[in-house]
Each structure stands twice: as C-alpha cells, then as structure tokens.
Amino acid sequence: MLAAILRDSDAAIFVCERDGVLLGFCTVRIDRAPSIQVEVQRAEITDLTVRARERRRGVGRALVERALVWVEERGVERCEVRVASRNAEGQRFWRSIGFDDLMDVLQRRL
C-alpha cells in the first residue's frame, strides 16, 4: 500500500514521528472525474490513525491540516472522509475539525 501511494502523484502520506517512533499517519488521494461532470476533482482522506496512547494531543488534527494544505496546493476545493457511523471517537474528531454530513452510505450484507 505504501509503495503504491509513493508512486502515485495524486496520493500522499503524512506521518508524525517522535525520536523515530511513528505516532500517527494520514493518507490522502485526489480522485478525478471525466470533465463532463460538474465536479472534476475532489480529495479523500483514506486513512488516519494515531497511536492510542498519543491521542488527544493534537496529532490527528495536525496530520489532517497538513494533508489539507497538500490538497489545496493542487487546486482541489473539497475533501471527504468516510467514517463509520458507530465510530463515536472518529465522528467527534472529524466534526471538531470542520467536517460535516454529506451523505449516508447504506449497506446490505450478502
């Protein structure tokens, strides 16, 4: 997965480390649609994880803010993230940094 991100100019990974220890990481990518569509590009944060004992210290926020700078630098004006409805921690985190509801994703198990 990491190698694929590093090869792809439309994807990036940001890491937070201290003394060589990984505290958290965030992956982001830009999706492009055919120019016939109204919105031709958007970004998606595809992963964000902070080591459990390092949470609530601003690492997650800093990683996302850095990723959003990368997105903006590419002229993309919107960024999405998929967060599970039952991920209460994640829901509170994303809302606290300015993300809000876009659509509900429904599923049926087969």
Ligand X SMILES: CC(C)(COP(=O)(O)OP(=O)(O)OC[C@H]1O[C@@H](n2cnc3c(N)ncnc32)[C@H](O)[C@@H]1OP(=O)(O)O)[C@@H](O)C(=O)NCCC(=O)NCCS
Interface positions with ligand X (CB under 6 A): 48-50, 55-61, 81, 83, 87, 89-90, 92-93, 96
For 93, the 3-state DSSP assignment is: helix
Q: Which is nearer to ligand X, 32 or 57 (CB)?
A: 57
Residue closest to ligand X, measured at CB: 60
For residues 88 and 77, what is the distance between their CA atoms, to the nearest angstrom?
27
At closest approach, how far in Å is the CB of 31 from ligand X? 17
At closest approach, how far in Å is the CB of 4 from ligand X? 20
At closest approach, how far in Å is the CB of 27 from ligand X? 11
Q: Which is nearer to ligand X, 30 or 81 (CB)?
A: 81
Which pairs from 5-8 meet CB under 8 Å and 24+ separation?
5/29
At closest approach, how far in Å is the CB of 38 from ligand X? 26
DSSP state of 73: H
H helices within 1-110, ranges in order?
Answer: 2-7, 59-73, 88-96
Q: Which is nearer to ligand X, 29 or 55 (CB)?
A: 55
**Are the beta carbons of 32 and 10 closer than 8 angstroms?**
yes
